[in-house]
Each structure stands twice: as structure tokens, then as C-alpha cells.
């Protein structure tokens, strides 16, 4: 089976079965490396926060160099490479592709044992780890009947977020260097550490990046191309109590843990991640720790508008004051900081970047859908830093969980879209 795409009179031919073979081999190899990030270390400025990310960066650099593509990994494990242009395309504009090395700390991260389910028959998948993927409750899985599905064994997440994006970018690179008749301009590649902790662009080597536009290959279902995300803030509430001997505590002790628990219970439960969808924002108490004398709660705030995020910050501060009034002798402090901003406003200043992605996907027979990201990507931060960066689909589903899975057929479409996007950029003028 072969497909041919016509772009302004230029033709290229790619065999989907060859792309599928290369993608699957790479993806399985990458998922077996535990690159789960460590939020505590990342918050302390340690990058990468885990050695598995450094190991994967080194492996990827070696694979790129073996293709003849120069690749550098810096001390913080950012990998930067550039695919050289074809002869005659040296003056084509540079664009970039980005994916992240780490996997989420929200579920067990390794060792990952990927399972390949060929010719998926549409039945529930009962994984050895006691997890079931049920197409009756997962419409996206049902839609992939007849294709190849990859899952973990149910004991860990899979790591499609974002090793699927990495596999797609490396397969694109291999295609470009092995297809001399496919004329293309220069393509920059950026692999970043600690995206899942919100620190993915903290130490990015901006001075070495020449592309004026990037695409994160970090999305989900087939056809999702995203140009909007949350405004994201993190609040840390500190609860200062008064310790005393438990047998003589009356009128003396103020329990910081009870203060923290009261604070969490007063946050609007109807505005939590598990009760919201679409363009609805939320409050999410993420971590709690402490003792009688001091406790701390970390809360993530998410909203699609600046006014909405401001309202949520005021709410957290009001709840903190209420807790302090409820526990005489105790005090509450709140520190709030921005993590990333909604990228839509800045992306709207560069509509051609998104338009090229849509054109590329549609040329590959993909029906494009646009929805706001209920989260963020490194593209959010890159866009803030002046490099417009929409997000492209990978074919991954149920990220950050033991039920994570990916469609190999959708990964092929992702890679075909990247190939076509490269062609479209090569036809632009600087």
C-alpha cells in the first residue's frame, strides 16, 4: 500500500507500512527507559531532575549523529539538532519541532513493559497489571478497531506523552536524510527535559535556536491541532500552627495539619479537574505535607482567561484568611506564581504558523479539530519567549495514567503530517 501527496506540483511517496515499522521500533525502545521527572528536584532547579532523561537525550543524540545530523546535548539535557537543507533549499526558512524527554510523575513511571495489540478487535483489553481499557467507555479506543494499539502492562503509564512525539520526529529525520529526491529546507529539533514539572523551558538555550516558529509534537487524538491552553498558576499555602504535648494541649495547640485540611475542604469542589471539561477552569490541591507545627499545600489554578485566573487567586487568598480566622493562634501565608500563559493571543499574531499545520494534516487526509489544551506544553512557554508554537497530535490517549495507550495508525498520520509540513515550509520564502 502506498500513498502519494501532491503539494503545489511536487510529489513524494511514503509507504505507511515502512513508517509504521520504524515508528513502532523507536517508540518501544524509548518507552523502556524510565524518564519520569521529579517535581521536587525540578522545583529546586535541578535539571534534568532524573538521570533517565539524560540517558534518553544521549541515546537520541547518538541516533541523530548516526544519520549524519549534528546534535548537541547541553549540561541540562536539552538536545538541539538541525537537519541540513537539501541543495538549493539553503535559503528556505527554518522551522522547529519540539518534544519532551520526561514522563509524568502522576502515575508509576517504570519499568515500562509495552504491549503491542495487533489487529485490535474492539474488545476490552484486560492488562496484566489489573487495569482494563474498555471501548464502551473510551470512544477513541473503539474508533481504532482493526488497527494496532500499544499499551503498558497496566502497572505503569506507557510514556506516549511524549515519546510518541520523539519517535515521530526521529522518523521524520530518517526519512529526510534517506530520501534525496525530497527537497526540504532546514529543520531544527529540540528535545527538552522536565516539561511535566512545568520547568521544561526554564533553561532552554534560546541563543542557539534560529527557527522563528516551532511545533510541539505533544498532542492527543488524530487531527487535534491546538493553539490555546490554560493560564496556569501555582499557589503554596503555608499553615503555621502551635505544637504542644497532646495530653496538655487544650487551649494551647493549633494543629497545622487540621488547618491545611480545612483549607483544602473549602476550595470549590465543583471546580476541580474531575468535575470540569472544555473551557472550564479549576482548582486542584496537588500536594499536602507537614506536621503539627507547620503544614503546606500546593494548589494548581487553571483558567483560560486572565480575569478567571485572577478570580481564582483571590478565592485562594480568601479561603486562607477564613482558615486563619477559624484557628486562633495560627497563621496562614500564600505565595502565588505564574507557571505559563495561554498562548492563543500571541499565536494569533502569526496565523500562518497554525495554517501550515492545518494544511499539512488535511493534505494527508486528516480531519483537523481544534480544541483548547486542558493543560500546557513547552509550546506555551516558547510562545511567551517569542517563538510561536502550536501543538500537533501524536495519536496518544489517556495520558498520565496506567490506561494510557496509543494508536500506531495515528502515529503514522502524525509522521506523514510532519513530512508534509516540512515540504510546505520549504516552499515559503524568507
Give the tens place of pLDDT for each residue, 367-389: 999 888 898 889 999 999 999 99
pLDDT value of position 152? 98
The total number of residues shown for the chain amounts to 430
Summary mean pLDDT of the chain: 94
- Among residues of the chain, what percentage have pLDDT more than 70? 96
Q: Is the pLDDT score of 6 beyond 70? A: no
**ω before 111 within 30° of 0 (cis)?**
yes
Q: Is the pLDDT score of 341 beyond 80? A: yes
Report the range of poorest mean pLDDT among 9-23, 273-287, 337-351, 410-424.
9-23
Q: Of 145 and 4, which is predicted with more confidence?
A: 145
Where residue 4 falls among pLDDT bands split at 50, 70, 90? very low
pLDDT tens digits, residue range 228-245? 999 999 999 999 999 999
- How far apart are alpha carbons 165 and 396 in whole angstroms? 9
* Active site (catalytic) residues: 102, 195
- How far apart are alpha carbons 279 and 67 in whole angstroms? 43
Residues 312, 46, 96, CA angle at the centre, nearest 5°? Answer: 80
- Residues belonging to the binding site are 100, 161, 196, 218, 400
Select from 159, 157, 133, 131 the least CA-distant residue to 145. 133
pLDDT value of position 429? 65
Select from 220, 278, 236 the least CA-distant residue to 401. 220
- How far apart are alpha carbons 192 and 97 in whole angstroms? 11
Select from 330, 299, 327 the least CA-distant residue to 313. 299
pLDDT tens digits, residue range 401-412? 999 999 999 999
pLDDT value of position 161? 97
Number of Cβ within 10 Å of residue 253's Cβ equals 19
**193 and 101 Cβ atoms separated by less than 8 Å:** yes
Q: Is the pLDDT score of 10 beyond 90? A: no
**193 and 78 Cβ atoms separated by less than 8 Å:** yes
Amino acid at each position: 500500500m502506498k500513498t502519494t501527496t501532491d503539494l503545489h506540483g511536487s510529489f513524494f511517496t511514503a509507504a505507511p507500512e515502512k513508517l509504521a515499522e520504524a515508528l513502532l521500533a523507536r517508540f518501544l525502545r524509548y518507552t523502556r527507559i524510565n524518564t519520569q521527572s521529579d517535581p521536587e528536584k525540578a522545583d529546586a532547579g535541578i535539571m534534568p531532575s532524573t538521570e533517565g532523561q539524560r540517558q534518553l537525550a544521549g541515546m537520541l543524540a547518538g541516533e541523530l549523529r548516526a544519520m549524519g545530523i549534528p546534535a548537541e546535548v547541553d549540561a541540562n539535557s536539552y538536545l538541539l539538532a538541525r537537519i541540513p537543507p537539501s541543495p538549493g533549499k539553503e535559503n528556505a526558512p527554518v522551522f522547529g519541532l519540539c518534544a519532551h524527554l520526561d514522563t509524568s510523575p502522576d502515575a508509576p513511571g517504570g519499568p515500562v513493559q509495552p504491549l503491542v495489540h495487533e489487529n485490535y478487535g474492539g474488545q476490552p483489553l484486560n492488562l496484566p497489571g489489573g487495569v482494563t481499557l474498555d471501548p464502551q467507555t473510551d470512544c477513541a479506543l473503539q474508533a481504532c478497531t482493526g488497527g494496532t494499539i500499544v499499551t503498558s502492562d497496566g502497572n505503569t503509564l506507557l510514556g506516549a506523552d511524549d515519546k510518541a512525539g520523539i519517535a515521530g520526529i526521529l522518523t521524520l529525520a530518517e526519512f529526510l536524510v534517506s530520501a534525496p529526491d525530497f527537497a526540504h529546507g532546514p529543520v531544527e529539533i529540540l528535545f527538552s527535559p522536565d516539561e511535566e514539572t512545568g520547568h521544561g523551558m526554564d533553561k532552554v538555550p534560546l541563543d542557539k535556536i534560529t527557527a522563528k516558529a516551532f511545533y510541539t509534537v505533544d498532542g492527543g487524538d488524530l487531527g487535534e491541532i491546538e493553539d490555546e491552553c490554560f493560564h496556569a498558576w501555582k499557589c503554596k499555602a503555608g499553615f503555621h500552627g502551635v505544637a504542644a504535648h497532646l495530653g496538655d494541649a487544650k487551649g494551647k495547640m493549633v494543629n497545622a495539619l487540621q488547618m491545611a485540611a480545612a483549607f483544602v475542604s473549602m476550595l470549590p469542589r465543583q471546580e476541580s479537574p474531575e468535575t470540569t471539561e472544555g473551557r472550564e477552569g479549576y482548582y486542584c490541591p496537588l500536594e499536602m505535607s507537614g506536621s503539627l507545627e507547620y503544614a503546606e499545600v500546593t494548589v494548581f489554578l487553571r483558567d483560560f482567561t486572565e480575569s478567571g485566573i485572577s478570580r481564582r487567586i483571590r478565592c485562594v487568598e480568601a479561603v486562607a484568611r477564613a482558615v486563619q480566622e477559624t484557628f486562633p493562634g495560627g497563621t496562614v501565608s500564600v505565595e502565588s506564581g505564574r507557571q505559563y500563559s495561554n498562548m492563543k493571543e500571541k499565536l494569533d499574531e502569526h496565523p500562518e504558523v497554525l495554517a501550515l499545520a492545518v494544511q499539512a494534516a488535511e493534505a494527508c487526509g486528516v480531519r483537523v479539530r481544534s480544541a483548547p489544551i486542558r493543560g500546557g506544553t513547552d509550546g506555551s512557554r516558547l510562545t511567551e519567549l517569542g517563538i510561536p508554537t502550536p501543538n500537533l497530535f501524536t495519536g496518544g490517549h489517556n495520558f498520565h495514567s496506567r490506561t494510557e495507550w496509543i494508536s500506531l495508525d495515528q502515529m503514522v498520520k502524525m509522521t506523514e503530517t510532519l513530512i508534509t509540513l516540512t515540504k510546505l515550509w520549504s516552499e515559503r520564502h524568507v
